[in-house]
Structure 1
Amino acid sequence: MLWDSDSPAERKQYTDLVLAHFDPSLPVIDIGCGNGTYTRWLATLFPTVLGIDVSAGAVARATREARDIQNCSFTVLDATKADAGDLLLEQMGPANVFVRGVFHVLKPGKQAALAANLKTVVGKTGRVFLAETNFPGNSLDYLAGLGATSDHVPSQLQRALENLPRPGRFGARERRSVFSETDWRVIADGPVNIDVVPMNPAGQLQRVPGYFALMAGAHLPTAEPNLTHNHPPLH
């Protein structure tokens, strides 16, 4: 899978932020978990982690690959459905949420629906951490940056184009339109590197410019004792 890079360098960008701002007494929900690569990583940091994905095949694979990990589980769920937030809240209680590479493939209506469900899930104590691709060029530039040419498309990229919606960009502007200031407070945001499965003959690391945001419900107090504020851009 194109996005399943399992990159320690990318995870390292996120570790300090989630450890500093995710309340460890709350479960963590990995939205759009795919085969569970990041769910398994989160399970090394937090006591209880649930991965959800709309694909039954992805969840089945994730379950197999995490069969020896006791503190993570998986379930099939479309997180953009109207009742998904209520279902997760009933199952898990208030939770922290991790989202990597989901919003940039959703249309605006689905993005808004997912954000509304996340608001339900995090309640008064949870946090949302998201990381999304934010490529500055057009779609052709984006594909070329991933290795596509006029007469060749790498196999991993071809499979992604066949099975997923066309990727877009999701940066600060898009976040502001989806996560309103009325409902959300941004704790930290900025640039980040999204690593993809290498598609060059040498197997060299390939990165896509991205954007991260760490958010809480707007009803929460501004002060957060013992937590880091205004985190510098991730590199």
Structure 2
Amino acid sequence: MLAALKKYLMIPRLVRLSAGAPRDHHVAWDLFWSSVKSTGATGDVLWDSGSDHEMQGYVDRLRLHLDPGLPVVDIGCGNGSFTRQLAAHFPHAMGVDVSAHAVRRAVSESSGLANVSYVVRDMTAPDAGGGLGEELRLLGGGGRAGAGANVFIRGVLHVLGERERHALAENVRAITGMNGRVFLAETDFQGNAVEYVSHLGATLRSIPSPLEGAIRGLPMPGRFGPKERSLAFPAGRWELIEDGPTAIETMPLSDPTRADLIPGYFAVLRARN
């Protein structure tokens, strides 16, 4: 019992680390990506495992539910690791991120891929989704005029507030058009913040460097499961096609030979007319 409670002695340190995080999420994410020196399994980005293992767990559902003739928009693309993997399954993949530093890194890491593009845009801003689907079609991404695009969201909604989630969902509607669908995967850890960081390898003695960097500079993560999805994507505006549990991979933290896993939630959605 005492051993289980000891982890809560980390609270003062966690509070100190998170106290300096910028309140403006534009600033926070751009500062974070400006400090990233490397990505992948041994890099600085907590949620970049450096492998395609997580994506391989999504592929069957992407093939089943998303139109392979339409392009796909990867919202919150970061360094483009998932955007590049999506490009193998769709005619064009466009990564979108609020951070200009993230997009510059994504462009650099995607050199030589003809069917990948990136844009800096805050997808919680009014009308941010307008024109993206048509822009993709003009880039040669496939689909008919007005048909829209598919949308992929991984690890974004759990760091947004309820109002921002609703704004993002409305922008997604503008992207999907008549035929596009949405695949989302988010962390849905059921414990509190101390249990969460402990799950990712934090102890009284040490906190893994990528985890410490996220705590120090980024918005505090929450959970995103069926309840949160039903609020962000209400049934009156969205049809739920499939949902269920999944696992979100981080870079190796507790064992250098394998990625760590966070309990997660996935959903496939279609906008109602």
Aligned pairs for 1:36-185 (under 5 A) are 36-92=80-136, 94-185=148-239
Q: Aligned partners of 1:19 and 1:202: how far apart in 2?
A: 32
CA deviation vs aligned residue, 1:118-176 (integer Å, no higher than 9, x gap)? 11111221000000000011111101000111232110101112232111100001001
Residue type matched to 2:106 in 1? A
Q: Secondary structure at the match of 1:198?
A: coil
Unaligned runs of 5+ in 1: 220-235
Q: How much does 1:201 deviate? A: 5.2
Residue type matched to 2:155 in 1? G
Q: Which runs of 4+ in 1 moved over 4 A?
A: none
Question: Residue 52 of structure 2 contacts residue 85 of structure 2 at CA under 8 Å; is this kept in 1?
Answer: no
Q: Aligned partners of 2:110 and 2:244: how far apart in 1?
A: 31
1:194 to 236, 248, 251: 248
Count how many residue pairs are aligned between Structure 1 and Structure 2: 219
Residue type matched to 1:37 in 2? S
2:64 aligns with 20
Greater Cα shift, 33-42 or 192-201: 192-201
Question: Residue 200 of structure 2 contacts residue 253 of structure 2 at CA under 8 Å; is this kept in 1?
Answer: yes
Q: Aligned partners of 2:46 and 2:222: how far apart in 1?
A: 15
Q: Aligned partners of 2:261 and 2:255: how far apart in 1?
A: 15
Q: Aligned partners of 1:107 and 1:191: how far apart in 2?
A: 22
Q: Secondary structure at the match of 2:254?
A: coil
Question: Residue 131 of structure 1 contacts residue 192 of structure 1 at CA under 8 Å; is this kept in 2?
Answer: yes
Q: Aligned partners of 1:88 and 1:201: how far apart in 2?
A: 40
1:217 aligns with 271
Q: Aligned partners of 2:83 and 2:133: how far apart in 1?
A: 18
Q: Aligned partners of 1:61 and 1:202: how far apart in 2?
A: 24
Q: How much does 1:90 deviate? A: 4.5
Q: Secondary structure at the match of 1:83?
A: coil
Q: Aligned partners of 2:128 and 2:214: how far apart in 1?
A: 25
Which structure: larger Rg?
2
Unaligned runs of 5+ in 2: 1-44, 137-145
Question: Residue 7 of structure 1 contacts residue 195 of structure 1 at CA under 8 Å; is this kept in 2?
Answer: no
Q: Aligned partners of 2:230 and 2:261: how far apart in 1?
A: 24
Q: Aligned partners of 1:183 and 1:49: how far apart in 2?
A: 25
TM-score, normalising length: structure 1: 0.89
Q: Aligned partners of 2:196 and 2:113: how far apart in 1?
A: 36
Question: Residue 156 of structure 2 contacts residue 186 of structure 2 at CA under 8 Å; is this kept in 1?
Answer: yes
Q: Aligned partners of 2:135 and 2:91: how far apart in 1?
A: 16
1:225 aligns with none
CA deviation vs aligned residue, 1:172-212 (integer Å, no higher than 9, x gap)? 01001110001000111000011101112544331000000
> Structure 1 residues 209, 201: closer, same or farther in 2, change over 3 A?
closer
TM-score, normalising length: structure 2: 0.77
Question: Residue 249 of structure 2 contacts residue 259 of structure 2 at CA under 8 Å; is this kept in 1?
Answer: yes
